[in-house]
Chains A and B, each alone.
Chain A
Amino acid sequence: MDPKLLNQIKQFATTIRIEQMKEFKVRGFGHVGGALSITDTFAVLYEAVMKYDPKNPQWEDRDKLVCSKGHAGPALYATLALKGFFPMDWLNTLNIPGTKLPSHCDRNQTPGIDMTTGSLGQGMSTALGLCLGDRIQGRDSYTFLVVGDGELNEGQIWEGAQFAGHQKLDHLIAFCDYNKKQLDGYTKDILDQIDIAAKFESFGWDAQEIDGQDAQAIYEAIQKAKATPGKPHMIVLNTVKGAGVKAVEEMSANHHIVVSAELADTAIADLEKLLAEQKG
Chain B
Amino acid sequence: MNFKVDFKNEKEKRAMKDVFGGVVAKLGEDPKFVYLDADLMSSIGTKKWADAHPNQAYNVGVSEANLAGMAAGLSAAGLKPLAHTFGPFASRRCYDQVFLSIAYSKNDVVMVGSDAGVTAAFNGGTHMPFEDMALYRAIPHATVVDVTDSAMLESVLPKLMDMKGLKYIRLGRKEVLGVYAAGSDFDIGKAALVKDGTDVAIIASGIMVAEALKAAATLEAEGVSALVLDMFTVKPIDADAVIAAAQKTGAIVTAENHNVIGGLGSAVADVLVKNTPVPMEMVGVQDEFGQVGPQDFLQKYYGLTADVIVEKVKAVLERKAVLQMKDKPDKNKDWAY
Q: How many A-B residue pairs have CB under 8 A?
A: 109
Complex CA distance for A90 and B68, rounded to whole angstroms:
33
Please state if A159 and B101 are interface contacts (CB–CB under 8 Å): no
Please state if A125 and B34 are interface contacts (CB–CB under 8 Å): no
Which of A129-137, A236-244, A256-264 participates in binding chain B? Answer: A129-137
Please state if A124 and B76 are interface contacts (CB–CB under 8 Å): no
Central interface residue in A118, A134, A163, by most chain B CB within 10 Å: A163
B75's partner among A108, A118, A129, A156 (CB-CB below 8 A) is: A129
Q: Inside 8 A of B55's CB, which chain A residues have their CB?
A: 136
Complex CA distance for A126 and B79, rounded to whole angstroms:
13
Complex CA distance for A118 and B104, rounded to whole angstroms:
11
Please state if B106 and A129 are interface contacts (CB–CB under 8 Å): no
- Does B7 touch A at the CB level, under 8 Å? no
Shortest CB distance B58–A (Å):
7
- Does A230 touch B at the CB level, under 8 Å? no
Q: Inside 8 A of A133's CB, which chain B residues have their CB?
A: 34, 73-74, 76-79
Please state if A159 and B79 are interface contacts (CB–CB under 8 Å): no
- Does A121 touch B at the CB level, under 8 Å? yes
Complex CA distance for A44 and B77, rounded to whole angstroms:
24
Please state if B63 and A159 are interface contacts (CB–CB under 8 Å): yes
Central interface residue in A121, A127, A159, by most chain B CB within 10 Å: A159
Interface residues on A, range: 20 to 34
Complex CA distance for A227 and B174, rounded to whole angstroms:
50
Please state if B65 and A156 are interface contacts (CB–CB under 8 Å): yes
Within 8 A of B (CB), among A99-121: 106-108, 114-116, 118-119, 121
Main secondary structure of the interface of B (DSSP, over half): helix
Please state if B65 and A125 are interface contacts (CB–CB under 8 Å): yes
- Does B71 touch A at the CB level, under 8 Å? yes
Please state if B77 and A163 are interface contacts (CB–CB under 8 Å): no
B58's partner among A107, A121, A132, A159 (CB-CB below 8 A) is: A132
Within 8 A of A (CB), among B25-70: 34, 55-56, 58, 60-61, 63, 65-66, 68-70
- Does B324 touch A at the CB level, under 8 Å? no
A126's partner among B63, B70, B96, B106 (CB-CB below 8 A) is: B70
Interface residues on B, range: 20 to 34
Please state if B61 and A126 are interface contacts (CB–CB under 8 Å): no
B101's partner among A125, A134, A162, A167 (CB-CB below 8 A) is: A125
Q: Inside 8 A of B66's CB, which chain A residues have their CB?
A: 124-125, 128, 156, 159-160, 163
A129's partner among B56, B61, B76 (CB-CB below 8 A) is: B76
Please state if B61 and A116 are interface contacts (CB–CB under 8 Å): no
Please state if B78 and A116 are interface contacts (CB–CB under 8 Å): no
Closest to B55 in A: A136
A122's partner among B58, B60, B75, B97 (CB-CB below 8 A) is: B97
Q: Inside 8 A of A107's CB, which chain B residues have their CB?
A: 76, 105-106
- Does A270 touch B at the CB level, under 8 Å? no
Shortest CB distance B109–A (Å):
10
A163's partner among B70, B76, B78, B105 (CB-CB below 8 A) is: B70
B69's partner among A106, A136, A156 (CB-CB below 8 A) is: A156
Please state if B79 and A115 are interface contacts (CB–CB under 8 Å): no
Given A60-B78, A136-B55, A156-B97, CB of A162 within 8 Å of CB of B70: no
- Does B100 touch A at the CB level, under 8 Å? yes
- Does B176 touch A at the CB level, under 8 Å? no
Shortest CB distance A72–B (Å):
17
Complex CA distance for A118 and B71, rounded to whole angstroms:
18
Q: Inside 8 A of A229's CB, which chain B residues have their CB?
A: none
Please state if A122 and B69 are interface contacts (CB–CB under 8 Å): yes
- Does B177 touch A at the CB level, under 8 Å? no
Complex CA distance for A173 and B55, rounded to whole angstroms:
21
- Does A155 touch B at the CB level, under 8 Å? yes
Given A125-B72, A126-B101, A129-B69, CB of A136 within 8 Å of CB of B34: yes
Complex CA distance for A132 and B66, rounded to whole angstroms:
13
Shortest CB distance A149–B (Å):
20
Complex CA distance for A115 and B101, rounded to whole angstroms:
8
Shortest CB distance A73–B (Å):
14
Q: Inside 8 A of A163's CB, which chain B residues have their CB?
A: 60-61, 63, 66, 70
Please state if B73 and A128 are interface contacts (CB–CB under 8 Å): yes
Shortest CB distance B100–A (Å):
5
Given A108-B106, A116-B100, A156-B65, CB of A137 within 8 Å of CB of B70: no
Please state if A137 and B73 are interface contacts (CB–CB under 8 Å): no
Give A138-173 as 1s and 0s: 1 = Cβ < 8 Å from B's Cβ atoms.
000000000000000001100110110011000000
Please state if B69 and A130 are interface contacts (CB–CB under 8 Å): no
Please state if A132 and B74 are interface contacts (CB–CB under 8 Å): yes
| A-B contacts besides A159-B66, A160-B63, 13 pairs, CB < 8 Å | A107-B105, A108-B105, A115-B73, A116-B104, A125-B68, A126-B105, A128-B73, A130-B73, A130-B76, A133-B73, A136-B79, A160-B69, A163-B66
Can you spell out 7 A-B residue pairs with CB atoms less than 8 angstroms apart? Answer: A107-B106, A129-B72, A129-B75, A132-B58, A136-B77, A160-B66, A163-B66
* Residues of B bordering A, CB below 8 Å: 34, 55-56, 58, 60-61, 63, 65-66, 68-79, 81, 96-97, 100-101, 104-106
In the A-B complex, the 8 residue pairs with the closest CB atoms: A129-B73, A133-B77, A125-B69, A159-B63, A159-B66, A116-B105, A126-B73, A129-B70
